[in-house]
Structures are given as C-alpha cells and as structure tokens.
Amino acid sequence: MTIYSIIFYLLAVLILVTTGLAISRRDMVHAVVYLIFSFFGSAMLFYLFGAPFLAVLEVIIYAGAIMVLFLFIVMMLKVETVGERLFPLSQWLPAAVCGVVYLALGIVLVAADPNGETVLKTARAEPGAFGQYIFQKHWLSIEIISLLLLVAVIGALLLARRAKKTSAQETIEGEL
C-alpha cells in the first residue's frame, strides 16, 4: 500500500464522515460548516488525482462562495431547530431506495473490474482554455445559473423581512 492510497482512503473517510455529520445536524449552521469541511476534502481528492485547477475551483466556488451564501441565508432566516424526530418515517422509503441503488451500482462497478486494472485516459486542460470553452460554448447556462442565484437571494431576503414583520406584529398585538 503506497502513501497515495493511504491518503486516498483517509480523504474518503473524512469526506464520508463530514458529509454524514452535515446531513444529520439539526442546527443548520453546523450542517453548513460540516459541508464546508466535506468540500475541502473533495478538493484535496481532486488534487490527489492530478487536477489542481478543479481543486482550486472546489475551494473557491463551493467552499468559498456558495457555502458562505448558504450561511448568510441560514443566518438571515434564523432557522430554529425543531423538536421533531431526526428522520421522519416519510423519509425512510426514499432514503432506502437511494441507498439500495447506490449499493447496487457499487457492486456492479466492483464486479466489472475487481482488480481495478482499467486505466483511465488522462485529460488535461489549461485554465485559460477551460475558461474560453465554458464562456464561448455555455455562456447562456452560466447566465441562467447566475439569475437563479440572484432570485434565490432575493427570495431569502423577502422571506426574512416577512418573518420579521410577522413577529413584530405578533409582539405588538400581544402587548396591547
């Protein structure tokens, strides 16, 4: 076992544990922080696979920009922890179906090449060429995504303001 395989397995365990903690936390701020740790682990995995540009993009875009946006939205909405069960019974069936599908896919992948002897073709792209390709060929989808993010932020602001007005009105009516 080489040092790279040890690093790979440690990163895989780190990503699985932090993602599991992110989806099992009741406090949304803690969930976002654990998800940021998961993204950092994924970035390290990209770097280990020889894709440093993807690793940097993972950190800048996902762990940096998008998770900070999620954190601000969670803080603006002031999401309270609820006293209900961690996983309601209505969520068990979809989770079990997804788990069985992933397990079946994993078994098929391992059975198809048990020794892992399939060599993957290396694909490299310089950051400048990648940026030109994305903005020349897929500029419309990038603009649509930016508009969707803008609408999400505006919606979160409106929800936060509506919640403040409602709680302020309830307080005034309750005091009178």
Q: What is the pLDDT of residues 34-79, one digit of tens each?
A: 888 888 888 888 888 878 888 888 889 888 888 888 878 877 776 6
pLDDT surpasses 70 at 135: yes
Residue scoring higher pLDDT (128 or 124): 128
**Which tens digits make up the pLDDT trace of 93-117?**
766 776 677 677 667 766 776 676 6
Hey, is 142 helix, strand or coil? helix
Quote the CA–CA distance of 144 and 151 in Å, as a whole number: 11
Residue 151's pLDDT band (boundaries 50, 70, 90)? Answer: very high
Q: What is the pLDDT of residue 133?
A: 87
Tokens of 92: 């068990």
Match 């002031």 to its residue by tokens.
78
Helix 139-175 to helix 67-77 angle, to the nearest 10 degrees? 20
Residue 81 has a pLDDT of: 56
| pLDDT at residue 85 greater than cutoff 60 | no
pLDDT over threshold 90, residue 147: yes
- The answer to whether 38 touches 22, Cβ cutoff 8 Å, is yes
- Residues 145-159 have a mean pLDDT of 89
- pLDDT score of 120: 61
Convert 101-127 to b/e letters by CB count within 10 Å (16 or more is b).
Answer: eeeeeeeeeeeeeeeeeeeeeeeeeee
C-alpha span between 72 and 88 (Å, rounded):
27
- Check pLDDT > 80 for residue 164: no
Structure tokens, 22: 């992110």
Radius of gyration of the chain (CA): 22
